[in-house]
Amino acid sequence: MKLIVNGVEEAIVSPPLTPLLHVLRDELDITSPKAGCQQGGCGTCTVLVDGEPRRSCLTAVATVDGAAITTVEGLGDDGALSVVQEAFYNHYAAQCGFCTPGMVIAATALIDRKGGEVDRDDVLEALGGHYCRCTGYIKIVDAVIGASRGDVEGVRDVPVSVPGEPEVLPKGSPA
Amino acid sequence: MTADVLFPTSADEASSLYGDGTDITVVGGGTILLPEIAAGRVRPGRALMLHRAGLDTLRVDGDRVVIGAMLPIAALLDAPDEALSRVAPHLADREVRQGATVGGNLAAPAASDAHRGDLGAPLIALGARVRSTGAGGDRLEPVEEYLTGDRDRRLVLEIDYARFERRTGTTSLRRRHAHSYSIAAVVACARPDGSDLRVAVSGASPTSVRCRTVEATRDANDVLSDVEPVDDAVASAEYRRAVLPKLVREALDQLELA
């Protein structure tokens, strides 16, 4: 079997019934898709399979043999954040961040699908299967709508970790 | 993880490999089965993976619509009949619908905490038939008979129904979360002149049920003669008994029959 993961062709040796999630995390060391509930209920393992968002925990790797897989690692160009990632940052749409990879992937797919501005109902439908236990969703919905409008300021002051120094925390939420 | 994984490339090959269903686990979309396998609760000796078997199409064949068992539920959003296109958006969420299949929705046994199979009601209301194979040979039977019959060691291949002008009523009650199974869901279909009325209920009891008494009397209160609601994690039987006649009445009203 093979997968094209974030543009790179990978030969896969995991058994055919292995969930795509575990192939990505354990065989390919791509760890943005999180192993949350692992029964399809939380959404944080969501990846794009040939452009369509799918639950990687529910997808046997053999069923996507040869497909193009996109994870958060494959978003943005040359290390820059994608528009959706920038919007999540600027709207404080992440707190603990565990759900964020699935949210960002599903939001990216929604905006690609719509090809323009999305409204609140579009976002609720697209993210209806994604749990966030921190933010209360309002900032996430705002971020996705903002990203669809191209309403991002660009990310400034991205915190950088310095070895040996205490971890630099992102600027605090105004809430 | 598993000793032997089979990849049939046609429906005939899938049927042949399935045989009488002894010691073989069918993997459709995997949305129900994969967590069980990953957690070690199901350990298939042989697994039959159907994604290359050519069963993932919906085609209009003369006056019949033929749906392959591997058609993703997401594809039903564009189905040619409202009974399916109106119910499908309420099944799970966008990502799960991309993987979950029509055949899996019909064939899945009830879960420990809820009753699956929300496609039962629209398919029964459309008068759909199930073509399956396995122990006892090939069978072509109405969906309601398939659901109440012996489903053990059966492989669902196709579902088909006759196409004609219909009016459709759909109502359901569910918790406000994408992953909640229905508390109860009703689908009613009839010709514009009111003939060929078919009414079905999903979610209220272990399998979807055709409501023959309601079809005969057209009285929504008679639904409790057809359906025996049960208690589960989603709702109580008492609550279901209270809401079912109201849901059926609303579905019948949507038909706007004289």
Q: What's the pLDDT tens digit per position in B19-60? A: 999 999 999 999 999 999 999 999 999 999 999 999 999 999
Interface of B with A (CB under 8 A): 1-2, 5, 7, 27, 29-31, 34-35, 37-39, 44, 47, 49, 51, 92-96, 98-99, 177-179
pLDDT score recorded for residue B180: 77
Phi, psi of A134 (to 5 degrees): -110, -55
Least reliable range by pLDDT among A65-79, B75-89, B106-120: B106-120
Structure tokens at A43: 């959404």
Least reliable range by pLDDT among A55-64, A163-172, B100-109: A163-172
pLDDT score recorded for residue A135: 84
> CA nearest A47: which of A73, A10, A16, A76?
A73
> CA nearest A55: which of B100, B196, B217, B10?
B100
Q: How confident is the model at residue B150 (pLDDT cuts 50, 70, 90)?
A: confident
- pLDDT one-digit tens code per residue, A91-122: 999 999 999 999 999 999 999 999 999 999 99
- pLDDT one-digit tens code per residue, A23-61: 999 999 999 999 999 999 999 999 999 999 999 999 999
Please give the Cα distance from B70 to B101 (Å, whole number): 5
Helix (H, G, I), strand (E, B) or coil at B208: coil
Q: How confident is the model at residue B86 (pLDDT cuts 50, 70, 90)?
A: very high
Mean pLDDT score across all residues of chain B: 93
CB contact under 8 A, A52 and B98: yes
Percent of chain A residues topping a pLDDT of 70: 90
Please give the Cα distance from A57 to B216 (Å, whole number): 46
CA of B163 to nearest chain A CA: how many angstroms apart?
30
Radius of gyration of chain A (CA): 16
Alpha helices in B165-222 (DSSP H): 212-217
What are the residues facing A55 on neighbouring strands? A46
CB contact under 8 A, A58 and B96: yes
CA of B45 to nearest chain A CA: how many angstroms apart?
12
> CA nearest B122: which of B177, B152, B180, B79?
B79
pLDDT score recorded for residue A159: 63
Q: How confident is the model at residue A151 (pLDDT cuts 50, 70, 90)?
A: confident
B252 has a pLDDT exceeding 60: yes
Alpha helices in B126-168 (DSSP H): 143-148
CA distances from A100 to A95, A143, B248 (A): 9, 12, 41
What are the residues facing B126 on neighbouring strands? none
B2 has a pLDDT exceeding 70: no
State the residue for tokens 């229905």: B182
pTM of the model: 0.91
Picking from B5, B27, B31, B34 by the largest number of A CB atoms within 10 A of its own CB, the best residue to mutate is B34
Chain A neighbors of B93, CB-CB under 8 A = 43, 128-129
Percent of chain B residues topping a pLDDT of 90: 83
pLDDT score recorded for residue A172: 53
What b/e string do you get for A21-34 counting C-beta neighbours within 10 Å, with b at 16 or more? bbbbbebbebebbb
CB contact under 8 A, B96 and A16: no
Please give the Cα distance from B105 to B31 (Å, whole number): 10
Please give the Cα distance from B228 to B204 (Å, whole number): 8
- Residue with the larger pLDDT of the pair A164 and B102: B102
User: Tell me, what amino acid is at B132?
Assistant: S
Least reliable range by pLDDT among A143-152, A154-163, B98-107, B224-233: A154-163
Mean pLDDT score across all residues of chain A: 91
| Cβ-contact B201, B121 below 8 angstroms | yes
A20 has a pLDDT exceeding 50: yes
pLDDT score recorded for residue B174: 85
Please give the Cα distance from B144 to B217 (Å, whole number): 20
Terminal CA-CA length for chain B: 59
CA of A47 to nearest chain B CA: how many angstroms apart?
9
Chain B neighbors of A19, CB-CB under 8 A = 34, 38
pLDDT score recorded for residue A171: 54
Please give the Cα distance from A161 to B2 (Å, whole number): 43
CA of A129 to nearest chain B CA: how many angstroms apart?
5
What DSSP string runs through A51-91? TEEEEGGG-BGGGGTT-EEE-GGGSSSTTPPPHHHHHHHHT
Please give the Cα distance from B100 to B103 (Å, whole number): 9
User: Tell me, what amino acid is at B208?
Assistant: S
A156 has a pLDDT exceeding 70: no
State the residue for tokens 């029959």: B257
What DSSP string runs through B25-39? EEESS-TTHHHHHHT
The CB density around residue B110, as the number of other CB atoms within 10 Å, is 15
B226 has a pLDDT exceeding 80: yes
CA of A147 to nearest chain B CA: how many angstroms apart?
20
- pLDDT one-digit tens code per residue, B164-203: 999 999 999 987 777 778 899 999 999 999 999 999 999 9
pLDDT score recorded for residue B114: 67
Q: Where does residue A161 rank: exposed (0-12), middle (13-18), buried (19+ CB within 10 A)?
A: exposed
Q: How confident is the model at residue A174 (pLDDT cuts 50, 70, 90)?
A: very low
| Cβ-contact B204, B184 below 8 angstroms | yes
pLDDT score recorded for residue B15: 97
Please give the Cα distance from A75 to B192 (Å, whole number): 51
Q: How confident is the model at residue A175 (pLDDT cuts 50, 70, 90)?
A: very low
**Which residue from B2, B31, B94 is facing A58, i.e. has the nearest CB?**
B31
CB contact under 8 A, A46 and B95: yes
